[in-house]
Amino acid sequence: MTRTRIAWPSAAAVRAGAALGLWLAAGAARAEAGPGILHQMNDAMARLAERVTPAVVQIQVSGFRPAGPGGRVESALVSRQHAVGSGVIVDPDGYILTNSHVVHGAQRIQVLLPPPPAPGSPGGEEAGQRLFDARVIGAEPNADLALLKIEARNLPTLSLRTATPVRQGELVFAIGSPEGLTRTMTMGIVGAVARPVEADQPMVFIQTDAPINPGNSGGPLVNVDGALVGINTFILSESGGSQGLGFAIPAAMVQLVYDGLRKDGHVHRIELGLATESINATLAAALGLPRDWGVLVSDVALGGAARAAGVEIGDVIESFDGRPIDSAAAMTTAWYLHRPGEPATLVLHRGGRHLTVKVEAREVTRPADLAELASPETSLVRRLGILGVDVSPRLQGVISGLRVGTGVVVAARTLDATGVDSGLQPGDVIHAVNRTAVESLADLRQVLRTIKAGQPVALQIEREGKMAYLAFEME
C-alpha cells in the first residue's frame, strides 16, 4: 500500500486557497442566477420558433430534373425525380418564395403547409398539415429565386419589408425541411454579410454557419427578431452535408426580385454592353487605381451601348444612377433597380478625373432554355429517351440558322430505362426517321409506333448546321 505524506500548506498556498474559495463562492452565485438567464434564452428561442415556423412551408416537386453532378440545372441529362425543398409565405393570399433551382423542370409542385395552431397541442405536431398544388408565377434563375402561388387565404407570413441590414457576428436561424424534416430550425452566426462565391459572378451572399442541409433550399434565414434577412440557397460541402458554410440570398435582393416577379412574372434586366469585376489591393496596385475597393470595367462590348457612350476598359465606376458603387453587390442592386428604356447615368474615374456618361439601357430578352420549353407532360418521347420540342418561333435565340423550318428539337435526354441509346444530343433537330419526314412531335411519335423492337432505325438530324444520320436498332 502506498502511503501519502500530508504537509501543511504554505502561506502562498493559503492565499491561493482563499482566492479559490472566493472564486467558487462567486461561481455559486452565478450558478444561482444562471438558470434564470438560460430559461430566458430558452423561452425567447421557443417564442421565435412559434412566430416564424408557421410561415415556412415544405415544397414537394416531381418531374424531369437535371441528373448531372449536384443536380446542376445546366446538365444535359434529365431523369424523373422527386425532390423536397422549402419556401416562405410572403403574402397571406398564398404567394410563396423559394429557390428557382427547387422548382426547375417541375411537372408537379405541391406545398405542404404547417398545421394551424391548436391550443395545448405539443410542439412539432404534424397532424392536420395541408397539401396544395402550386403554380409558378415567375422565376429569376440569375438570383435563384422563384415565386409560387397556392389557392389559400389568410396565411401567416414573413414580411420582406421589415428586414434590417444584417451584421457580421449576428445570431441567425435557418428554418426549412432538411432531408424532408419539416419545420426544422438551426442556429448560427453571420460569417460574412456580402460574400462573393465566384469571382466572375456579381451576386453576393450572406454566409452563415447555421447548419443547412439538402431540403433547406428556399427557406428563410431570420434574425433574433424573426425578421427575414435572407433566403437559404446552397452550401459548400465535400460530404453533401453541413460543414458550416451556408449561403443565403440577401433580403434586399429578394425584395427586388419579388417585386418584379409579382408584378410582371419576370424581372426586368438591362444590358449595357460592359463587364465589371471587383477591385482588390493587388489589382489596384498593379493598375495604379485610385482605391483598392470598388468596381472596375473589365470589358466593353464591340458595338454595345457602353462603348458608344465612351466607357473604356479600366474605368472605375464611382456611381450608377446616383447610387455609390463600392462593391459588386452595389452594382448588382443598381442594375436590377434601373428601369429599362431609360439611360443609365454612370460616373467614372479615369486617369485622375471624373467623367459622367449616359448609357442606353436595353432590356435583356433572355432566350428560353430548351429544358424550360419542354413540358414533361407533352414532350417526352420514351422510345428515344428524350424530351422534344417542335421547331417554332419560340426557339429564336436558342437555335439559330436552321436549314429546315420544321422538325423536333431535342431539349434533353432522359435516363429512363425505356429509352434507346440513339446518340442524340440536346440541340439536335430530328428531320426524318427511316426516310419518313418528321415535322412535329406528333409525326415523330406516329412513325416510332410503326417500328418494332430489333428493327433498324436511321434518324436524319441537323446538328450545329450540318445534316447527319444516326443509326441504331430499336429496343
Q: Is 0.75 surpassed by the pTM of this model?
A: no
Residue 376 has pLDDT above 60, yes or no: yes
Q: Can 144 be counted among the known catalytic residues?
A: yes
pLDDT in tens, 312-337: 999 999 999 999 998 887 888 888 88
Do 270-363 and 370-473 show the same overall fold? yes
Contact 323, 330 (CB under 8 A): yes
The mean per-residue pLDDT over the stretch 64-83 comes to 57
**So what's the pLDDT on residue 308?**
95
Can you name the CATH fold of 171-264? Answer: Thrombin, subunit H (2.40.10)
Residue 75 has pLDDT above 50, yes or no: no
pLDDT in tens, 418-467: 567 788 888 889 999 999 999 999 999 999 999 998 899 999 999 878 88
Residue 397 has pLDDT above 60, yes or no: no
pLDDT in tens, 286-313: 999 989 999 999 999 998 999 999 999 9
Can you name the CATH fold of 370-473? Answer: Pdz3 Domain (2.30.42)
Contact 23, 31 (CB under 8 A): no
Unique residue bearing C-alpha cell 441504331: 472
Mean pLDDT (the chain, rounded): 82
pLDDT in tens, 234-280: 877 655 555 668 899 999 889 989 998 998 888 888 889 998 888 99
Q: Helices 328-337 & 251-264, crossing angle to 10 degrees?
A: 20
Q: Can 217 be counted among the known catalytic residues?
A: yes
Q: Can 101 be counted among the known catalytic residues?
A: yes
Domain residues of the chain, as ranges? 171-264, 270-363, 370-473
Residue 3 has pLDDT above 50, yes or no: no
**So what's the pLDDT on residue 123?**
46
Which member of 75, 86, 100, 144 is catalytic?
144
- At the second CATH level, the architecture of 270-363 is Roll (2.30)
The CA distance from 210 to 288, in Å, is 40
Which member of 75, 86, 100, 101 is catalytic?
101
Which member of 217, 242, 278, 422 is catalytic?
217
Contact 64, 387 (CB under 8 A): yes
